[in-house]
Amino acid sequence: MSVLPAQIAIEPIRRPLAAVVRVPGSKSLTNRALVVAALASGRTLLRDALFSDDSRYCAEALVQLGFHIERNAEAQTVVVEGQGGRIPAAGAELFLGNSGTSTRFLTALLTLGHGDYVVDGSPRLRERPLDDLLLALTQLGAHVESASGCPPVRVRASGLPGGRATVGGEVSSQFLSGLLLSAPYAQSPVELLVSGTLGSAPYVDLTLGVMADFGVAVERDGYARFRVSPQRYQAQADYVIEGDASAASYFFAAPALVGGTVRVANLGRRARQGDVAFVEVLAQMGCVVDEIDGGLAVSAPPDGQLRGVDVDMRHIPDTAQTLAALAPFAATPTRIRGIASARRKETDRVSATCTELRRLGVAVDEHDDGLTIYPAAATLVPATVQTYDDHRMAMAFALIGLRVPGVVIDNPGCVSKTFPEYFAVLETLRPV
């Protein structure tokens, strides 16, 4: 893994693109598969897994809990020796950085153990709420404690009794996913009722898909009710992780700014991740989307005119910043809706995106659930973009530098959270 400087200046690309790239394995799939494989009985091989800070925190926490895990970054493989629902360690203090996914999934998993555990992380993680998850676990008979409703969380575990619980869906779908992943090992059936509007619903489908891959079936009534009977995950001899759709969004967006075509080789239109739907937003903006040799390719609008869009991104909020980076170059305004949950991510992404667009000379209106971005291709100015230790701020705003001279990304190393080699892969777009 390369060490990045304190700042990176992005050089514009002056010629149309004709590039093929591969993105890292999906973070969402990697962390779900790590948890499920640890709960399964026997050895699972994860292939094309993500190697980044988020997946490392999840894997290292499982090792602290007594699971045997072998990680090979060069081969992009992870071997997990599952313990059949048993948590080997009778106690542990887990530090999970700013990995919200790991925190939500492992807090639920720990209730299956027998012992005293603590889940903690970075200062920002200590600001990210877990109330909905903790309340649901308490309703299922678990003993979980948090003074603030955020990490640190203490889990005094003696197995998860089960039963019925209501879980809020508006803050994060990861609460529901964490409960579902561990529910098969509760002592009695688990019924989960979702209150409010469930955001990022495709990620729940992703969770149910991974559970099914490992042999566990879930009864459901849309996104309102889920029932999980006691079952056992089955270890998988060779489980392949598809490319990360959120990471791919930056490369799909690049032709809209520079011209030409980029194909992501390890992600197809039938990918399981909801964020693959971002290519449909690009199509609304005038781009051309094709599936070629099993990979998705995006080309610039044939007429060279990028159109603004009005789009609800509540189910694909991790791609909202990618759209925000394109919007100033559209001929008409762009309204991004439904992403109030993004305010509780690695940073307040709505506010941070508005601040940095304005720094670059873009007119923006901030709303409770999103933002409106006005055309600014002729008025953009050089600037050093602050990233707020948020990988998606760094990756999205680097795209603007492919078109506008003088864009500098501060603290580019924050991309190590999910895509350590992002800037190296971005460089491969340059025509030879």
Catalytically active residues, by annotation: 318
Residue 283 dihedral angles phi and psi, to the nearest 5°: -65, -40
Residue with tokens 């920002």: 124
Contact between residue 364 and residue 372 where contact means Cβ atoms under 8 Å apart: yes
- The CB-based long-range contact list for 341-345 (8 Å cut-off, 24+ gap) reads 341/170, 341/171, 341/172, 341/199, 341/200, 341/314, 341/317, 342/317, 344/128, 344/129, 344/171, 344/172, 345/100, 345/317, 345/390, 345/392
Q: Where are the alpha helices (DSSP H) in 40-124?
A: 53-64, 100-110
Backbone phi and psi for residue 46, each to the nearest 5 degrees, phi listed first: -100, 125
Pairwise CA distance, residues 328 & 357, whole Å: 9
243, two tokens = 């490319």
- Which two three-digit tokens encode residue 306? 């990028």
DSSP labels for 411-428? Answer: SGGGGGGT-TTHHHHHHT
Q: In which order are the strands placed within the sheet that holds 310-312?
A: 310-312, 334-337, 370-373, 364-367
DSSP state of 25: B
Q: Are 318 and 361 in contact (CB under 8 A)?
A: no
Strand, helix or coil at 358?
Answer: helix
Q: How far apart are CA 52 and CA 250, in angstroms?
A: 17
